[in-house]
Amino acid sequence: MNFKPAPIPENERNRILAVEKTGILDVINEEIYHIYSHLARKLTGCPLSWANVMDSERQYNFVMDAQDIEEKEKENFRENPRSTSFCQYALRSTEPLIINDLTKSNIFMDHTSVKKVDGPRFYAAFPLVNSDGYILGSLCVQDKRVRRLSKETVRLMKTLASKLSHQLDIQTKQRTKTAEGVLQAMTAINAQFSDITLKNAISLMRYFSNSPISTSDKNLLRKLDILDKDLRLTKDSRQLLKTLNLDASILRRMKIATSGQEELTNLFKALG
């Protein structure tokens, strides 16, 4: 028999939107989350731990902690197809999924990796549930030998997963606030400079947020009378900045790349 994918959750569309709102997909920022993965490994004694989010096609592992995986090797394990992942089954319930012996599990015994002589034997996933009740992914541990977790360890792991879920909620709220700030800025810029292109508007926002812009972008902003000949903000631009009255933390988070359009599209997903 072959390994069968898990049924799709009934709330899948909204669940995926919740995942996208976190902004964590395809973003490597392990220093923020490493403590959760590291503690999971220490609490359970397992040699491998990771945390992931799940979109429609893949499992994205945004942090990992392992005895036998070097930092430079992590990218080889950064994502894997949802259809063959263990963690897709952790989307079915907010309760932990704990499999003491994968070779005896009706769900996992036919998985390609489990059939290997040196394949995984123990697996546990603790769902990452956001404040709206959507399961974004899971905090997981794995071992090549059969294990059992004590009730206390399970309790501690559930608490750890809850703390990580809260961290993701905080990040989502920050992205929403940033997206609202960017939208406000784009609207105000367009009102004051009706002929400005999206590229030049992005350059102006980058300039407002003290991010570096190219010489050519500076020259374009000069032609639009946004910058004066000394590359300082003109009176109208200073008034615009005052009108925006953006929170300093929002300006710092406006780290939009030079092209900007894809980054803006991803950022506006935070608004739903």
* Backbone φ and ψ of 212, nearest 5°: -65, 140
CA dihedral 225, 228, 232, 234 (to 10 degrees): -50
Contact predicate 109/160, CB 8 Å: no
Give the amino acid at 30.
Answer: E
Q: How far apart are CA 87 and CA 1, in angstroms?
A: 20
pLDDT tens across the length of the chain (272 residues): 789 999 999 999 999 999 999 988 877 778 899 999 999 999 999 999 999 999 999 999 999 998 877 777 788 889 999 999 999 999 999 999 999 999 999 999 999 999 999 999 999 999 999 999 999 999 999 999 999 999 999 999 999 999 999 999 998 988 877 777 777 777 777 777 777 777 777 777 777 777 777 888 888 788 878 888 888 888 877 877 777 665 445 555 545 444 445 555 555 554 55
* Backbone φ and ψ of 149, nearest 5°: -95, 135
Could you give the C-alpha distances from 126 to 59, 63, 150, 198, 204, in angstroms and in order? 15, 15, 14, 43, 44
Instruction: Quickly list DSSP for 68-86.
Output: S--GGGGGGGSEEEGGG-S
What pLDDT was estimated at residue 250?
Answer: 52
What pLDDT was estimated at residue 256?
Answer: 47
Has this prediction a pTM greater than 0.75? yes
What pLDDT was estimated at residue 259?
Answer: 44
Pull the structure tokens for residue 227.
Answer: 């910058």
129 Cα distance to chain centroid: 14
Contact predicate 33/146, CB 8 Å: no
Place of tokens 């996933």: 125
Which among 98, 87, 101, 206 is positioned nearest to 135, based on CA atoms? 87
What pLDDT was estimated at residue 153?
Answer: 98
